[in-house]
Structure 1
Amino acid sequence: MATPVPAPAPTGPPITVVGIGADGWPGLADTSRAALRQAQVVIGGPRQLDLLPAEVTAERVRWPSPLRPAVAGVLAAHEGLRICVLASGDPMFFGIGRTLVETVGAERLLVLPHPSSVSYACARLGWPLDATEVVSLVGRPPDSLTRALHPGRRLLVLSADAHTPAAVAALLTARGFGASRLRVLEQLGGPAERRLEGTADGWPHPAGDPLNLIAVECAGGRRGSVVPGLPDDSYESDGQLTKRHVRAATLAVLAPAPGELLWDVGGGSGSIAVEWLRAHRDCRAVSIERDPVRAGRITRNAAALGVPGLRVVTGPAPAALAGLPAPDAVFIGGGLTVPGLLETCWAALAPGGRLVANTVTLESEALLTQWYRRWGGELLRLAVAHAVPVGGFTGWRQAMPVTQWSAVKPPADRSTSRPGEHS
């Protein structure tokens, strides 16, 4: 499991984070107005700073771009002063609040939230907030939306800019969801609030206000699944693909959990890494593939299935593993007999990490048997047969059986031999 970075010890006066909506100063609570009046420095984006009246006399500082790496320096430059940071809506909901917590620690912040754009949207649409999925495309490619597309599903999409609605409409159409109803809600809660409507496949509106949110009612499209084992034809492949039923069994043993990192060694078509990432939006994965053509295919599969954040490393393992962040789990789908590969992957795991390896060859099976004798775990054979026509009848066609070894790395002080075994 990824270890959270400890928050810094609080130093200096509190930093007040004020959420502000499209209604600006009139929409702020008295507590938020008082904090801004008393501030010596107000930091925010240009649009947010322009919402403040002249009675706020503090120095106004604009965030530079890119924002995240600049936060610590901007705050340090005004250390010792009464600082207010402006945020859109609720600072802790896809806002700057998270970055501030990671930078200075929660104990130093006083957060004064405003209703988020999502709260406003649900109120306008009559959608229950707890039953509505939210996808942010701020700083993320439109392909990130694909994972959330299911017939009949309601989504709220946080836009990056005025061009996001058209990009979403194009993506929905390309993914077979062109009949989906879209409603673009601009300037929610402000005097210039506006709604635009249409369907994805005939989206008629030019780019409008950059402050917008998109409500999507998914219609059409191919029914997907939220559990591992997508149909094989979901993937672009040259045949190097962990097949559906074996893939589902493999993901079950890998056991993805939020925040964890997978190494998918010998990525092939990338199916194991892709479905690891689809298990939870906070899962992370690196796919290592020596063949550049296959590496490009992995990237395309990840985008098409809604996880464009998959990192693809092109190069032979184990050399290509050098410098990668330590994994919580490793899957080896090819190259088991390459000298040092198993050893490198096992050494990279912390105690409690999982390693799963699949093979169809006798040579690799012999190697996995040795590792099973040394480290224990589970050694099994997966055999799948499909019913096929045999003349006028039906018979079974057996796929190549897959040998799978899985193990959890024990504590470092445990003996390398299992009880009852001899060297």
Structure 2
Amino acid sequence: MSVVGIGADGWAGLTDAARAALGEAHVVIGGRRQLDLLPPQCAGRRVPWPSPLRPAVPGLLAEHAGSRIAVLASGDPMFYGIGRTLTEVLGSDGLRILPHPSSVSYACARIGWPLEDTEVVTLVGRPAARLAAALHDGRRLLVLSADAGTPAVVAALLRERGFGPSALRVLEQLGGEDEACADGTADTWAHPPGDPLNVIAIECRRDPGALRLGAVPGLPDAAYETDGQLTKRHIRAATLGVLAPAPGELLWDIGGGSGSVAIEWMRTHPSCRAITVERDPVRAQRIERNAAHLGVPALRVITGRAPESLAELPAPDAVFIGGGLTVPGLLDACWEALPAGGRLVANTVTLESEALLTERYRRHGGDLVRLAVAHAVPVGGFTGWRQAMPVTQWSVRKVREAPTPPAAERSAEAPVEPSAKPSAEPSGDNQ
């Protein structure tokens, strides 16, 4: 199977190898717009992709098995294109991929932006809210539009997030005869919808009065809508530090509250995933709003009780327990769900939960710390410290447990001295 990238310049912009692949194909599969770019000498049967596309791919390929197939893709098939889906279905050995310059390459060439310094966000089949996570003063972004209405949606989102002064440039039909450009700012954007095939270039400029959101965990508490159930900024930063998110990893956030830990886990990298479990439906809806506002609308929110709601979830790379530690079976369920190498972090402010964490620390090791934060406040005409409730935090990495030795070997082991002290247990470093 050949996968051929094609641009707005159509047949004229294709290489000889790409033209040959299309001319020899018995069946050509692609979007209607792409199929219309082919000349009559491409005599193969033209088959438009159905919608939704992804579930239909295996059946469509099976229908034409035995035929020489060519698939059309926009630009580079492996850059947010059909190439990824086909590789997942058929494997890379079954494909011959012939790329064309992507719209991102064209856009950077037109406006003189170094490609390696430009962040790309696609809104094709994805919510516009995900753009919010990429907004930082001075950053250059390229947005792949879903349709002609996307530029107006992006301008409105920038205004709502405090980036109204940002410069926008909409580049249409890049590489084609009808290439066009529209300029403006998010605050003043009034251009009517243009061509659906467009890319939006954004030079981010934050309004001086807007709340500044950094790129690391520990966002201001004011960034969240909350009823008070919020892991506060300094504790949150320390918690994410020991959770240590890495690209592609999945977090379970138990007792979501306002969703801050799961949200900031996902903001560390676009491929980070999180599931938050919150029993209160009002709070669950609030978490969804916070996630959308802060640019991670893909956060999965489950309204239900733990541990019952955990049974069918995919295995996590890390678990954070911010509430419900005293619920019977919760800690055990989270520990059992973790694979070897997984991390568990639990925070509490109550003595009852602290006792549970102390017992688990003695059993599994790790780190048991107390985090205390004080804020300067007026005291009459002077300034003093107001202490927040201290937080006890247990963090641990799960290791592969050694197999239980046979009974004969166990009987030969030296007995444990009754005087053995807790300090003789393995330390967290050895765990």
TM-score, scaled to structure 1? 0.94
Deviations 1:172-202 (A, max 9, x none): 1111111111111010000011101111122
CA distance in 1, matches of 2:81, 2:51: 15
The one-letter amino acid paired with 1:154 is R
Deviations 1:340-378 (A, max 9, x none): 000111111111111100000000000001111111111
CA distance in 2, matches of 1:414, 1:115: 55
Q: How does 1:233-248 map to 2 (within 5 A)?
A: 233-248=222-237
Shift of 1:285: 0.3
| Corresponding residue to 1:171 among 157, 171, 184 | 157
What is the aligned partner in structure 1 of residue 70 from structure 2? 84
The answer on whether the counterparts of 2:213 and 2:220 sit within 8 Å (CA) in structure 1 is no
Deviations 1:99-151 (A, max 9, x none): 11111111111110000000000000000000001000001111110011111
Q: What SS does structure 1 have at the residue aligned with 2:228?
A: coil
CA distance in 1, matches of 2:112, 2:222: 38
Q: How does 1:297-336 map to 2 (within 5 A)?
A: 297-336=286-325
CA distance in 2, matches of 1:379, 1:203: 53
Q: How does 1:131-142 map to 2 (within 5 A)?
A: 131-142=117-128
What is the aligned partner in structure 2 of residue 293 from structure 1? 282
The one-letter amino acid paired with 2:320 is F
Deviations 1:82-112 (A, max 9, x none): 1111000001111111111111111111110
| Corresponding residue to 1:102 among 63, 88, 92 | 88
Shift of 1:415: 6.7
CA distance in 2, matches of 1:79, 1:327: 39
CA distance in 1, matches of 2:336, 2:63: 43
| Corresponding residue to 1:338 among 327, 339, 344 | 327
The one-letter amino acid paired with 1:35 is A
What is the aligned partner in structure 2 of residue 354 from structure 1? 343
CA distance in 2, matches of 1:176, 1:415: 59
Unaligned runs of 5+ in 2: 406-415, 417-421, 427-431
What is the aligned partner in structure 1 of residue 214 from structure 2? 225
Q: How many aligned positions are there?
A: 408
The one-letter amino acid paired with 2:180 is R
Deviations 1:19-55 (A, max 9, x none): 0000000000111001111111111010000000000
Alignment pair present for 1:390 and 2:390: no
Q: What SS does structure 1 have at the residue aligned with 2:174?
A: coil
What is the aligned partner in structure 2 of residue 195 from structure 1? 181
CA distance in 1, matches of 2:370, 2:22: 66
The answer on whether the counterparts of 2:2 and 2:69 sit within 8 Å (CA) in structure 1 is yes
The one-letter amino acid paired with 2:190 is P
Shift of 1:211: 0.4
The one-letter amino acid paired with 2:42 is V
What is the aligned partner in structure 1 of residue 409 from structure 2? none
Shift of 1:410: 1.3
The one-letter amino acid paired with 1:375 is H
| Corresponding residue to 2:270 among 268, 281, 284 | 281
CA distance in 1, matches of 2:128, 2:74: 22
| Corresponding residue to 1:150 among 136, 141, 147 | 136
Q: What SS does structure 2 have at the residue aligned with 1:169?
A: helix
The one-letter amino acid paired with 2:319 is V
Over the residues paired in the alignment, what is the CA RMSD in angstroms? 1.6
CA distance in 2, matches of 1:412, 1:304: 42
Q: How does 1:116-127 map to 2 (within 5 A)?
A: 116-127=102-113
Shift of 1:420: 4.6
> Which protein shows a greater Rg?
2
The one-letter amino acid paired with 2:299 is L
Q: What SS does structure 1 have at the residue aligned with 2:205?
A: coil
Q: What SS does structure 1 have at the residue aligned with 2:170?
A: strand
What is the aligned partner in structure 1 of residue 116 from structure 2? 130
TM-score, scaled to structure 2? 0.92
Unaligned runs of 5+ in 1: 1-14
Task: Go from structure 1 to structure 2 and tell me whether the alpha carbon gap of 1:415 and 1:284 turns closer, same or farther (over 3 Å shift).
Answer: farther
Q: Quick one: percent identity of the two aligned structures?
A: 72
Alignment pair present for 1:364 and 2:334: no
The one-letter amino acid paired with 1:321 is L
**Deviation larger for 308-317 or 200-209:** 200-209
The one-letter amino acid paired with 2:402 is D
CA distance in 2, matches of 1:187, 1:364: 60
The answer on whether the counterparts of 2:321 and 2:345 sit within 8 Å (CA) in structure 1 is yes
Q: What SS does structure 1 have at the residue aligned with 2:137?
A: coil
CA distance in 2, matches of 1:248, 1:176: 24
CA distance in 1, matches of 2:263, 2:182: 34
